Amino acid sequence: MMNNHINQTLMEQYFLERENLPAQDIRNMQEHLEHCALCREQYAHLEQFYGDLNQRLQETPTEQDREFAGRLITGRFFDKASRLLPFKSSGQTAMAPFDKLRSLKKIPLIYPIIRFAVFHPLKFAAANVTAAAVAIGAFLMLQQAPEISDRNPAFARAKEEFLVAYNKSGEELWRKHIGLNFDTEIMKGFHGYDIGDKLIKTFDLNNDGKKEIVAIVGFTVLSMRNRVTCYKSDGTLNWTFSFSRQMTFGNYDYFDDYGTYELLVQDIDGDGLAEIFVVYNHALYYPSALLRLDALTGTLMEEYWNPGAIYTLAHHDLDGDGRDEIIFGGTHNGYNRAFMGVLKPGQMSGHAPAPPPYTPTGYELNTTQKYILFPRSDLAGFSTAPRSNVPGIRLIQDGTVSIDVNEVHQETQSLRMYFSFNQALHCTKVSVSDQFRIFHNEMKAAGKVTQTIDARYFEALRQGVQYWDGERFVDEAPELISNIIF
């Protein structure tokens, strides 16, 4: 013990319940305190703290104290104190009135107050109940930050297992415990990019001037991976939504196991009320669903199925009617191609175009959708995935929609092609990433591909785009352009 300082728990046991410690432990601590200035100082602070607490318990409370204590006792600040205690005592039953202390943000200060009651239940119980509650409240308030005037969330973060809400000044407003690895930096390490914006949205859902927080937590907590949760501005639960489906595509049944990893919250039609769009992908296989939820209640409004994973969502007013369309992209297993889809909120139900083995049972083909398939490049043979995908959608200031199409490669991770569309969904331009160009040049130098990346190469890719005309996929044609405008 001479080479190690006395930990706080043992020191408090020595101070509060010395008679129950082994004699040798007492002698060891006495000897240590004689030689260790740091532990003597800590012990002096402990004596002062408990002396002040004991004195506070004997004071007669004022009416203001009684009102504050009433808020404490009725549960405004409480939640399961017993789980805080690192050790137990026969006096723990005296803690019944304080059974809900766990939700207090400043946990470290709660420990000694709880221990005081645990080790001295008669002294604590003999005190006026109001005075006891005021004592707890008073010491809590010593640790709390100054009152925050702006209680409206501006943003939220995944931080050290908690969902934490902040105002526009960056002051913490409240936090909710989610679970292991719920942290932006940890999840970034898992996925290689910042996924925070995919998981957490802060938005005034009902146009009352206060922002709610809509969150997905399934990236790290598997038992909650099919759940969307909405919190009010003050941190109280607004609603939760969970998705469950037993689906059949063609002749194959898919078990019910879906997770959500993509979230879009937006006032699509400018009426001041938000809409929520959520993607659910099957845990192991290809079925995926794009859902529209009522933002105020979390009720399912529309359900659209795609035979392949949906990776990204965006919104843009393509037809100029003042209401944004939902643009989404991913992969289509039936055609082994990357795709882009466009749906109008209010007309989203149904399923994507697909060959019969990839068509869901019980759902009609959506007749208003716009659906586009992207060609594979001459590097497809080197891809480590059976099909390309769309990992990103970018909206350019001039109204152009840029679709990232990825040929997955094990070494380079990503071989990107960029397909640009005007607002009539006519593909106007194709380009490629530097990684794509470098890898292509290497393969050509090795004699593994023959084409050259030039204007003709890009034009061939552009002409390889296929459009759904309501009955089948067709090549780009002038008469199609007017048909794909909403």
pLDDT surpasses 60 at 194: no
Query: Given pLDDT bands bounded at 50, 70 and 90, which one contains residue 21?
Result: confident
Q: What is the pLDDT of residue 225?
A: 77
Q: What is the reported pTM?
A: 0.69
pLDDT surpasses 70 at 65: no
pLDDT surpasses 90 at 81: no
pLDDT surpasses 60 at 109: no
Percent of the residues in the chain that have a pLDDT greater than 70, as a whole number: 72
Pairing label, strands 162-166, 155-159: antiparallel
CA neighbours within 13 Å on the CB side: how many for 394?
11
Helix, strand, coil distribution of the chain in percent, nearest 5? 30, 30, 40
Query: Which has the closest alpha carbon to 193: 382, 339, 392?
Result: 392
Taking the C-alpha atoms of residue 193 and residue 188, their distance in angstroms, rounded to an integer, is 5
> DSSP state, 100?
B
CA dihedral in degrees (455, 457, 458, 461; nearest 10)? 150
Q: What is the pLDDT of residue 55?
A: 65
Q: What is the pLDDT of residue 409?
A: 78
Of 14-28, 159-173, 372-386, least confident by mean pLDDT is: 14-28
Q: What is the pLDDT of residues 427-477, one digit of tens each?
A: 999 999 999 999 999 999 999 999 999 999 999 999 999 999 999 999 864
**CA distances (Å), origin 408, targets 379, 403, 417:** 10, 15, 11
Q: What is the pLDDT of residues 322-379, one digit of tens each?
A: 899 999 999 999 999 999 999 999 999 999 999 999 999 999 999 999 999 999 999 9
> DSSP state, 360?
B
Q: What is the pLDDT of residue 84?
A: 36
How crowded is residue 311: how many other Cβ atoms within 10 Å of its Cβ?
22
Percent of the residues in the chain that have a pLDDT greater than 90, as a whole number: 49
Of 86-90, 359-363, 384-388, 415-419, least confident by mean pLDDT is: 86-90
Q: Name the residue with higher pLDDT: 250 or 137.
A: 250
Q: What is the pLDDT of residue 86?
A: 39
Q: What is the mean pLDDT of residues 158-163?
A: 87
Q: What is the pLDDT of residues 123-137, one digit of tens each?
A: 455 555 555 555 555
Q: What is the pLDDT of residue 34?
A: 87
Q: What is the pLDDT of residue 103?
A: 35
Q: What is the mean pLDDT of residues 285-295?
A: 95
pLDDT surpasses 60 at 12: yes
